[in-house]
Structure 1
Amino acid sequence: MWATIWAGVSALASVLTLAAAVWALLRWRKQDELKAKLEFKQGIARLGYCLSRMPDKITLPEREKSKERLAELKDHMSQCTYSWLASEGLMEKYPDVVKNWEYINENINQYYWGRMDRDSIGESCAAILLQKFVFK
């Protein structure tokens, strides 16, 4: 009889351990999703801040004067792109984030080459930052 009771206790402990492991894996996945979203949002914040310190429109003389800041802007854009790719489609649930990111991604080179001003790109950065997709 005691063997049956201890076997039941052991089975119950195994089930509880399995449940705890499943719960931990689910939480771990959620934390990774949160981290990916947060890295993207922080990257956009850095990009927007760096962009705000750049000239409205880059002319050839401005390009020479702003060489270091332009390199910094390109680095921030690279980090944003990396974060976007690493998010593996997590942002698809947020159409405004996707739309604004696509606008930034498609037009940043136009700004680099002086074909457009920074305002609309900065507005897209701000629109992403206003979205509640990390801590809802």
Structure 2
Amino acid sequence: MDANYIVYETLVASRDAADWAFWTMLASWMSVLATIITLCFAYRALSTWREQEKIRVKLDFRIALKRLKSALLFMPLNIDPKEIEQEREQVITKWIFKDVDLITQEIEAGEQNVKRYDELLSLYDNCQSSWLATEHLFDNTELAKVWMLFEEDFEKYISGVASRESLAQMLKMITETRFVFEQK
């Protein structure tokens, strides 16, 4: 082999390597560009998802409030916790003496009160869970202030100290407030 031929083939191989390097570089830049575009779409999708989650959490809270409001309508103006506990004990007695008709008939009215009371507590717990899920979405708002007052008054109501009327008024204020789909 001639030295000039070897140099020529080396030059051709170097030129081909440079061409391949150029096309590889172009492919790398296209890959970087595609990755950046993908990241932009992913960020936009994540932002949209966050807003949808905020709306879902607010909607869950509104639904829980509506259910609590409905249950509160069937509750007495004032609750006597001692009476509720007596009725609960009577319900247990009914289960024990389920074959005795006289005892069963006397207890059925109290059983309804206990069911309503337990349902009210369950719905209130659901509202509190929904409120906690909002995680400061309502900080420094009138809604947050009213909800805090409602929680205090609810505890007073189930202890027999407060009346149902103030709770109903606060629930009405909260449910009339637009907080899920705020008008812009």
Using the size of structure 1 for normalisation, the TM-score is: 0.86
Stretches of structure 2 that go unaligned for 5 or more consecutive residues are: 1-21, 88-109
Query: Which residue does the alignment assign to 1:96?
Result: 142
Structure 2 residue aligned with 1:29, among 47, 50, 60?
50
Counterpart Cα distance in 2 of 1:88 and 1:13 = 36
Q: Which runs of 4+ in 1 moved over 4 A?
A: 1-5
Aligned amino acid, residue 92 of structure 1 = D
Query: Which residue does the alignment assign to 1:19?
Result: 40
Per the alignment, in what secondary structure is the counterpart of residue 92 of structure 1? coil
**Bigger-Rg structure (1/2):** 2
Aligned amino acid, residue 134 of structure 2 = S
Post-superposition CA distance 1:42-72 (Å, at most 9, x none): 1111111100111122246973431110100
CA contact (8 A) 2:81 2:158 kept: no
Aligned residue pairs: how many?
135
The CA deviation at 1:123 is: 1.1
1:55 aligned to 2:85?
Answer: no
Structure 1 residue aligned with 2:120, among 73, 84, 101?
73
The CA deviation at 1:113 is: 2.6
- Shift of the 49–62 alpha-carbon distance from structure 1 to 2, 3 Å rule, reads farther
Identical positions, percent: 33
| Alignment RMSD (CA, Å) | 2.1
Counterpart Cα distance in 2 of 1:98 and 1:134 = 14
Q: How does 1:107-122 map to 2 (within 5 A)?
A: 107-122=153-168
CA contact (8 A) 1:103 1:121 kept: no
9-18 vs 96-105, greater mean Cα deviation: 9-18
Stretches of structure 1 that go unaligned for 5 or more consecutive residues are: none
Using the size of structure 2 for normalisation, the TM-score is: 0.66
